[in-house]
Amino acid sequence: MRGMTTQLKRIGILTGGGDCPGLNAVIRAVAKAAMGGGLEVMGIEDGFLGLIENRLRRLTYNDVSGILTVGGTILGSCNKANPAKFATQDKQGRWVTRDVRDQVVEHYYQAQLDALVVIGGDGTMSGAHDLIERGLRIVGVPKTIDNDLWGTEITFGHDTAVATASDALDKVHTTASSHHRVMVVELMGRYAGWLALHAGIASGADIILIPEIPFDIDAVAHRCLERSKVGKRFTIIAAGEGARPVGGEQFVDHIVADSPDPIRLGGVAKWVAEQVETISRLEGRYIVLGHIQRGGTPTAHDRILATKFGYYAFELLMAAQFNRLVVQQNGQLGSVPIADVARKVRTIPPGHPLIAAGRAVNTSFGDE
């Protein structure tokens, strides 16, 4: 890749948005490769918030050693700090947004950064795009347990979250079977159903509800009754937090006033469990896995993927291929312009083969 090279002396690294397993593995790969190439590496604390508040620190080789298997991020993260719409409270206590991009650019140049590696999901890449328009040189690395970042077939963190969610669904099987209940497990994923689909298929969930396929609650209850009548006295339902009934809206748990993306989805599992119990007279229970899906040690797959992504980001820097996002397509690493990724969500296409495979093994998606 290193056809055209640029003379970099100092780069910065930040981790934006929600945390997930594998962030430290990327930091490690980028930083060690850069230090080996003679570059100085600055760690920016708490995502874009660190650039807004000018909180940077030099990373040493020891700082990034021994962190491959550690979940979370040694730099900290923040999902509320969009430089273009930074929320602060006025004298009356009301939340107002300010454009602090000029402040971020000033801190970037004060720190004598030549480029920035931004690790994050769609919100982080949208923020990165806004800074690119102000002249910053950025390379992006795709991160999200939701796997919903446009342009790449996989993001690191997703495999670990699927493993965590699948393990939880496996454990729910035993208690559902013992008590003959309909158990609805709510998974993260926001507006895309990748996590619910993959974890549901991996655990053999009987019904999978995802945002891309609006569900008929009567059809869901009927499937539970059908199973009960043939001696299968329990049903496991994996529900993505963004799933919604036909003709209805997604369930909103709460609004975060100081966030650039204020809507927090949640509540679909409770509603489905209550409705199924009312319609079918079968006992229903619900579980919300929540942030447990983001935590823990990254799987071997995510450690390898994060390391590959991190090294490829370094290669892009050295080849002066700025303002691009590292991606994987058809199993091969490449890159796409961050501008093409900003403000887009990658959802499951209707004809996805895993949906077809699920239907073939008699998994219901609540639509029939």
User: What is the tens place of the pLDDT at every residue in 124-173?
Assistant: 999 999 999 999 999 999 999 999 999 999 999 999 999 999 999 999 98
pLDDT for residue 50 is more than 70? yes
All CATH 3.40.50.460 domain ranges of the chain, comma separated, are 162-294
pLDDT at 1: 58
Q: Name residues whose C-beta falls within 8 Å of residue 232's C-beta, 6 or more positions apart in sequence.
A: none
The stretch 228-242 carries a mean pLDDT of: 92
**Nearest CA among 13, 25, 325, 16 for reference residue 154:** 325
Q: Which of 19, 46, 130, 146 is catalytic?
A: 146
C-alpha pair distances (Å), 191 with each of 115, 244, 271: 32, 10, 18
Q: Is 146 one of the annotated active-site residues of the chain?
A: yes
Predicted TM-score of the model (pTM):
0.93
User: What percentage of residues in the chain have a pLDDT greater than 70?
Assistant: 98
Question: Of 65, 53, 156, 56, which Cα lies nearest the Cα of 116?
Answer: 56
pLDDT at 2 over 60: no
Question: What is the third-level CATH fold of 162-294?
Answer: Rossmann fold (3.40.50)
Burial track 133-155 (b if 16+ CB lie within 10 A, e otherwise): eeebbbbbbbbbbbbbbbbbebb
From the options 1.20.1250.20, 1.10.10.10, 3.40.50.450, 3.30.1490.20, give the CATH code of 10-156+298-341.
3.40.50.450
Range(s) for CATH 3.40.50.450 in the chain? Answer: 10-156+298-341
- Under 8 Å between Cβ of 219 and 250: no
Give the C-alpha separation, 238 to 166, whole Å. 10
Q: Tens digit of pLDDT for each residue in 69-92?
A: 999 999 999 888 889 888 888 887
